[in-house]
Structure 1
C-alpha cells in the first residue's frame, strides 16, 4: 500500500485533553475494493440454484402427478403453464422477503426462515388465486411440489453457505470494517469479529474515544496491529478507503447526537453504520424499533413459553413422531435384534433425565455399550474427553461394534421418539441434561429447563461433544429464548444432514 500523501497525527490531544502518542491517519487505512465482487458472484450463484431447485421440484411434481410428458393430456399441459406462473411467483416471493440480503447470508437461521416464509407466501398466493378464480388445482401436485421445492431451496442455500464459510475461513469474502469506541469495547468487538469469521466482517482500522494509554496492556497489544484514526477523521477515512462498515462499539463522547451526525455524514455512501448491541444472544425477530417522535424506542420481545405457537409445536411433535414411528418400525426392530444378538443384553438403555421445569423422566436410547458400562465408568473418568461436566471418550472401550455404528449415524437416539410422543421431550429443543448436571447449574443456566428437551437441537448440529460446557449452555439458552416454528423445521433438516457428517458424534 502506498503511503504517498499520508499525514500523521502526532502529539494530538484527545477528548480528555491528554496528549496521545503518534498514530496513523486516513492514508494508513487499507483501501477496500471498489465493488464486492464476491457478493455479486455469490448472489448470482444463489439465484441460479434457486431457479434450478424450483424448476426441478415442479417438474418432479408434474411427473408424479401426470407421468411422462409423452402421455400428458391437455389438462396436464395446462398444469405446465400454471407451473411456470407458480415458479415466477415463488422467485418473486424469495426476492420480496429479501432472502438474499448480504446481512443475513452466511450466518444464523434468518436466511432459512425467509426461504421458508417465501415458500409459504408463494403457495398461499397460488391458493388464493385458484380460490378466487375458481381454478381447479390438484392438492397432490401442491403436496409434492411445495415440500420438495422448500427442501431443495434450503439445500441450495446450505451448499453456498458452506462455500462462503470456506472462503471466509481463508480470509476471503469479508467486508472491511472500522470500529469506533473505547479501547475495551473496540477490543471486544475486534476479537469477536476475528473469532466469529462467519459474521463476514474484517476489522481494518479503529478509532478510540479514550486514550490508549489508559487501556490494559493486553488490550493495547491486541489492538497494536490496527491503524488508528482520530475520531474527527473517521468519516473522511471511511470514505477515502471505501470501508463498507463503520461499527460503533459502546458510547461516543457526543452521545446520540454524534451517532446521528455520523449517519448524516455517511448518507449516499456505500458504508453501513452498525451499532454493536449489548443485547447478546437475542435474535433479530425479537427486536423491534418503535419510531416515536423524539424518543425512538427499541422493544425486545420477551420469550413466551406457552400459547398458540407452543400448541402448534406440540401438535407437530405428535403427528411427525407418530408417522416416524410407523415408518421406522421395521428399522427399529432390526436394530433391536442386532443389539440383543451381540451379547444377549437388553436392546434399550434407560436413563433418568431432567425435563421442563426440573421434572425427571426416563429417557430411552438403543444400548450402544456393554451391559455393565455404568459399573466401568469410575475407572475411566480420568480419561474423559468431555467438557468437564459431561463424560465423553472418543474411543470409549465400552462401546460395542454395533453401538459404534449406531452412534456414528445417531441411530441410537431413535427410541426417544417414544419420549416425544409421551410428551417428555420435543423433536427440537435443548439437550436433555442428567440430574448430576442440573445440580451443577448456577444462575442463568437453569433457564435451559424452561423448554422441553429435544431429540435434536442447536447443540446437536453445532459440534455436540466437541463443544465446551460454556458453549453448550450458551447454545441451549439461545434456542430457549429465540425459539420459532420455522427455526425448528430448519433444525430438523440440518440434523438429517449432520447425521452424515458425524461431527462430535462419539
Structure 2
C-alpha cells in the first residue's frame, strides 16, 4: 500500500511515454517528408522552396495537426489495444483527404507524390516506431514497472476475477493494489487473492483521495445503484483517478459498444456483430490478395521445406485433413506433413497421454512427429500451405482456429458461434499462447474475435503473429 498520494508518482511515466510517442511521430514525419522533399527537390533546385519546401512543411504540419485533433496522443489509448492504431490510421486518412483537396484547389502537379508516397511512408514509419515503443512498455510492465495503481470496488468474486486477469495480462498496465467490498471483508479474511481490503464500497472516494490510485475499477455488485455510481463519479472529480465501470456483458467490447443519452438516461448500446457488408468485403479482398502475395514471396521457402520433408521421412509433402469452416461447411485443410506415415491410426494408442485442453488432442513430445516436423511446428512453417485455403476462400488470414468435425459434433450452442466467420490462418489464439492455452480461454478468445471483429484488430493480430511465430511459444 502507498503511504499517500503525495509520495506516489501518479502520472510521471505516462507523461514521459506520451512525450516519447509525440517526439517519435514528429521525428518520423519530419524524416519522411524531408527525405522526399530533398530527393525530388534536388532535381529542381531553382524552384525547391516554391515546389517542394512548402509542400514538405505543409504535409508535416497537416499530419501532426490531424494526430492532435483526433486525440491520437491521448494517454488512455497509448500502449495497448487496437484503438491507438485505429486513431493513427484515421488521422492519416484525414490528412490525405485534406491534402488532396488542397492540391486540387491550388492546382499543384506535385500533390500525387505526397498523397501516394509520403503519407503511406509516414504511416509505415510511425506505426513501426509506435510498435517498438509499445514493446518496450510491455516489457517494463512485465517487470512490474509502468503500471497504474488500481482500487477495485465490488463483490469479492468479481474483484477476484479482475485481479486474476490483471496478473495474467500485465501488458494492460493495471495493478490492483487495494479492494473495497460491500462489508469491508474479503474472501481470505482481510484480503482478496492477496490484495488487502481497505474498506467498504461507501469509502471508495476517501481512499482514492488519500492514497492516490490512478484507476477505480467498479465491478458488479448489488450495491451499485445508478445513484451511487453517479455520486461516486462526483466524489472523484478533481482527483487523478479514472473511473472504469465493468458492464454486465459477456465478452462484448471494442467498436460494438456505444454510449448514448436517451431522455437524459445514459444507455450502453450494443450494436450487432457484422458478418456481411462493406468491411467484410474489404476483408475478403485483403485476404485473397494478401495470401496470393505471400505465396509468391514465400515460394522459395516453401520449396525448401517441401524438399526437407521428403528427405526426412517417407510419405507425401502435404497433409490433408477435413476441417469445419464458416456456417459448418467442411473443407480440406493443407499443411506440410510433420508426422510419420500412418500417424493418424496411432492416435488411439496415445489417447491416455493426451495433454491437450478440452476437445483438443496434443502431446508436447509426440513420438509421431518427425525431426523436420518438430522444427516446422515450432515456427508454424507447416501451416504455410493454408495460404492456398485462403486464396480459395475457405479460410481467412485472421479468424478462429479451424476445428475438426469431431470437435464440432461436441460443441454447445455458445461455442458454435465460432462458425459464424471463416476460420483463420492466425488469430487471437495464435498470439496468446497457442497450444498452451486452457480450452476455456481458447474458446473465449475465438468468441471475442467473432463478437468484436474489426479491420484494425486484424491488423494488430497479423503484426503480433510474426513475434509469436519467431518465439515459438506454445507450438508443438
Map 1:455-466 → 2, pairs under 5 A: 455-466=425-436
Once the two structures are TM-superposed, the CA of residue 264 in structure 1 deviates from its matched residue by: 1.9
Partner of 1:51: 26
Match of 2:403 among 403, 428, 433: 433
Tell me the distance in 2 between the aligned counterparts of 1:130 and 1:440: 60
Once the two structures are TM-superposed, the CA of residue 80 in structure 1 deviates from its matched residue by: 4.9
Tell me the distance in 2 between the aligned counterparts of 1:254 and 1:425: 45
Tell me the distance in 2 between the aligned counterparts of 1:40 and 1:249: 28
Tell me the distance in 2 between the aligned counterparts of 1:344 and 1:104: 52
Cα pair distance change 1:429/1:234, threshold 3 Å: closer
Map 1:174-185 → 2, pairs under 5 A: 174-185=147-158
Partner of 1:257: 227
Map 1:26-175 → 2, pairs under 5 A: 33-58=8-33, 66=40, 73-74=45-46, 78-137=51-110, 139=112, 142-175=115-148
Partner of 2:211: 241
Residues 359-401 of structure 1: CA deviation (Å, up to 9, x unaligned): 1000111223333332333344444443243233344343334
Tell me the distance in 1 between the aligned counterparts of 2:213 and 2:191: 24
2:414 counterpart SS class = helix
2:276 counterpart SS class = coil
Cα pair distance change 1:439/1:147, threshold 3 Å: farther
Instruction: Name which one, 1 or 2, has greater alpha-carbon Rg.
Output: 1
Cα pair distance change 1:320/1:253, threshold 3 Å: closer
Q: Give the structure-1-normalised TM-score.
A: 0.84
Tell me the distance in 2 between the aligned counterparts of 1:125 and 1:426: 34
1:291 counterpart SS class = strand
Cα pair distance change 1:254/1:197, threshold 3 Å: closer
Partner of 1:290: 260
Tell me the distance in 2 between the aligned counterparts of 1:71 and 1:383: 70
Once the two structures are TM-superposed, the CA of residue 476 in structure 1 deviates from its matched residue by: 0.8
Gaps of 5+ in 2: none
Residues 282-313 of structure 1: CA deviation (Å, up to 9, x unaligned): 22321111112332211011212112221221
Tell me the distance in 1 between the aligned counterparts of 2:384 and 2:48: 41
2:332 counterpart SS class = strand
Residues 392-418 of structure 1: CA deviation (Å, up to 9, x unaligned): 334434333433443343232222121
Tell me the distance in 1 between the aligned counterparts of 2:369 and 2:47: 58
Residues 22-72 of structure 1: CA deviation (Å, up to 9, x unaligned): xxxxx9777662542111121122222223333444456568x74xx7656
Cα pair distance change 1:500/1:253, threshold 3 Å: closer
Tell me the distance in 2 between the aligned counterparts of 1:414 and 1:285: 31
2:75 counterpart SS class = coil
Which of 414-423 and 129-138 deviates more? 129-138
Residues 445-493 of structure 1: CA deviation (Å, up to 9, x unaligned): 1110000011122111222112111111111111111111222223222
Please tell me whether the aligned partners of residues 54 and 153 of structure 1 are also in contact (alpha carbons under 8 angstroms): yes
Tell me the distance in 2 between the aligned counterparts of 1:505 and 1:288: 38
